[in-house]
Amino acid sequence: MQNEVDPSPKPASYYTRAKNSRAATPLDPEDFTRARRGFIAALADTRIVDSEGRRVTDVGDYGFLNSAPPDTVHPNLWRHAQLNTNHGLFEVCDGIWQVRGYDISNITFIKSNTGWIVVDPLTVEATARAAYGLVTEHLGHRPVVAVIYTHSHADHFGGVLGVTSQSEVDAGKCEVIAPEGFLHEVVGENVIAGPAMGRRALYQFGPLLPPGPRAHVDCGLGNAIPMGPNTLIAPTRDITFTGESLEIDGVRVVFQLTPETEAPAEMNFFFPDFNALCMAENCSHTMHNLIPIRGTLVRNALRWSKYINEAIEIFGSKTEIVFTSHNWPRWGADDARQFLELQRDLYKWMHDQTMRLANKGYVPTEIAAALELPDDFLAHEHTHGYYGDLVHNSKAVYQRYLSWYDGNPANLNKLPPTEVGHRYVELAGGADRVLEAGRAAADAGDYRWGVELINHLVFADPSNAEARALQADMFEQLGYQSESSTFRNAYLMGAQELRHGYPDLSGGAARARGILVAMTVEQIFDTISVRLKSEDVGGLSVLVNWTFPDLAETPDNLWLLGLSHRTLFSVRGRHDPNANATISIARSLLIDILTQQTTFVDQLGAGNITIDGDATSLLQIFANLDTTAAGFAIVEP
């Protein structure tokens, strides 16, 4: 949408300049030494492209960070972004290396007897392949004999095909190790809620913002997320209990399961041969999210803290190095322990203080306004909110125990935003009166009130160019003032979409294929179920037997899919003799159909699918599946 006003980013206002000028916190200058320690080499060309030559990422676009902080960026966030732009191959210790800076996450290479053990193969194939190439160039070629996924987020498994292949894994040449429940959680987060979460993630990470002092500067956990589809190879070995030990090609590893922490399925692990502790994403050089603004299951701050303490108790006396899935390591027993203790106490403090106030009757917005991070944490770089934010984290703790509802019946069943917008505009005396009040708030630097006020007008009349422009300008100033990269990105994405309209994000189904290929049949049926249009299937009752000839002769080979009371259900391991139809189809072909590579009709005609019985019963299900809208509106109706 084109506005009649200037759609370009604005400079920092007087109020933003004043706030940012006094926002810097004295922090340890050794952070810069740590972030650069062990540097070996960087990619000669920082621009990473995929197999089609399309740009995936380029840390070189962030050269503007090599200067004093501008007034459009919180000075602490600017400093943190400078630390995250250190990129290349780094030696962690003799036998362990990391490639950092080419993805939001780190990829770690541990030298084994005959090859590499890879920890967390990044977000997309192109960045993982580039990292493996950099390692090979400077350390020599070695095959990848094992991949360890620390947890179930896509930036820790999505690039796996850049370091190994499904055929290598099937041949037993590469083992894939993950915490128990990994695949279940991958599906829940990346597929069942994938379209909504992917859209919201654009606000959290800001990949559509151009790099620059008035736009994208960092992602908190790393420089930027790469653009491209995720891939996945299903684990061949699950870690099922804390204390489980493996010897992987001569390298000893002791595991600690940490469910419900930073991810629903996650684990830390210790390498006794290196006295090195991998804390996955349970520790980083930033306060983490207890629920990301993109959405996920709410994380358990209390258990998170206890698991860090358990890691200290189990591994702390032997730990000389702590490395993580993001940012940079810590070296030395004392520094490592202090880092772990502060991270432990940070999550416990947020949990305890939120619930202390909740039990006094404070509601989430009141708790967020009341809590201030103590100097104990503000004195250290890694406990600042560059990624998570105390405002949002306190609300997450409240939500986990007491739900989103604050107990006031006035908030129990509120009107939707468009209807609320119309009524507030009418109450204010019309659009001009709302604009007048909004401009007064902006002129006074009262941006939080201003965006709340103008938001009603935007939802009442999204074609009002003045309202859109004014809210965009105020969003922008709030972004400039944010220490949290996720808050900054969300505000600036909101401003960009108010000025230019929301993006076309077609092709999501095809991009999801990289994860679908590793899913079980049950998980595939679960993803189909959430697309069923209930309003169109009233009165229908259908049973379809499924046979998947490309699967082994096990219970996974036979399935029953039923439509009952406007809901799909599936049963593993049997057929129903009274089913309306029986279909024989390769699981891989079903995935092709679901990702819109082909259609049922075409494959029936080609003889690749056989149906016995009433073929229309299948259409009663698949003709009533909804399409997802990956590019839906957020800051307007």
When mean pLDDT is compared across 4-8, 97-101, 289-293, 520-524, the lowest value belongs to: 4-8
Look up residue 592 and give its amino acid.
D
pLDDT at residue 315, rounded to an integer = 98
Q: How many CB atoms lie within 10 A of CB 151?
A: 27
Q: 3-class SS at 237?
A: strand
Q: In 3D, which of 232, 301, 307 has the Cα closest to residue 268?
A: 307
617-632: average pLDDT: 86
What class has domain 29-402? alpha beta
What confidence tier does 6 reach under pLDDT thresholds 50, 70, 90? confident
Cα-Cα-Cα-Cα torsion 572, 577, 578, 582, nearest 10 degrees, comes to 70
pTM for the full predicted model: 0.95
367-385: average pLDDT: 97
For the stretch 263-315, pLDDT in tens is 999 999 999 999 999 999 999 999 999 999 999 999 999 999 999 999 999 99
432-440: average pLDDT: 98
What per-residue string of b and e applies to 50-89 under the rule 16 or more CB within 10 Å gives b?
Answer: beeeeebbbbebbeebeeebbbbbbbbbbbbbbbbbbbbb
CA 256 to chain centroid: 22
For the stretch 443-501, pLDDT in tens is 999 999 999 999 999 999 999 999 999 999 999 999 999 999 999 999 999 999 999 99
Q: Work out the burial of residue 379: count CB atoms within 10 Å of its CB; fewer than 13 is exposed, 13-18 middle, 19 or more buried.
A: middle
Structure tokens at 274: 């290196």
> Does the pLDDT value for residue 386 go beyond 80?
yes
Percentage of the chain exceeding pLDDT 70: 98
Look up residue 107 and give its amino acid.
I
Sheet bearing 107-111, strands edge to edge = 39-41, 88-93, 96-100, 107-111, 116-119, 144-148, 175-179, 237-239
For the stretch 7-52, pLDDT in tens is 899 999 999 999 999 999 999 999 999 999 999 999 999 999 999 9
What confidence tier does 509 reach under pLDDT thresholds 50, 70, 90? low
> Does the pLDDT value for residue 1 go beyond 50?
no
> Does the pLDDT value for residue 3 go beyond 50?
no
> Does the pLDDT value for residue 4 go beyond 80?
no
What confidence tier does 554 reach under pLDDT thresholds 50, 70, 90? confident
pLDDT at residue 2, rounded to an integer = 41
394-420: average pLDDT: 97
CATH superfamily for domain 420-481:
Alkyl sulfatase, dimerisation domain (1.25.40.880)
What confidence tier does 515 reach under pLDDT thresholds 50, 70, 90? confident
Look up residue 45 and give its amino acid.
D
248-260: average pLDDT: 98
Look up residue 4 and give its amino acid.
E
pLDDT at residue 512, rounded to an integer = 63
From the candidate CATH numbers 2.60.120.260, 3.40.50.150, 3.30.1050.10, 3.40.50.720, the one assigned to the domain spanning 521-622: 3.30.1050.10
What span, in angstroms and rounded, lies between the C-alpha atoms of 453 and 237? 53
What confidence tier does 628 reach under pLDDT thresholds 50, 70, 90? confident
Domain range list for the chain: 29-402, 420-481, 521-622
For the stretch 44-65, pLDDT in tens is 999 999 999 999 999 999 999 9
What span, in angstroms and rounded, lies between the C-alpha atoms of 380 and 378? 5
What confidence tier does 441 reach under pLDDT thresholds 50, 70, 90? very high
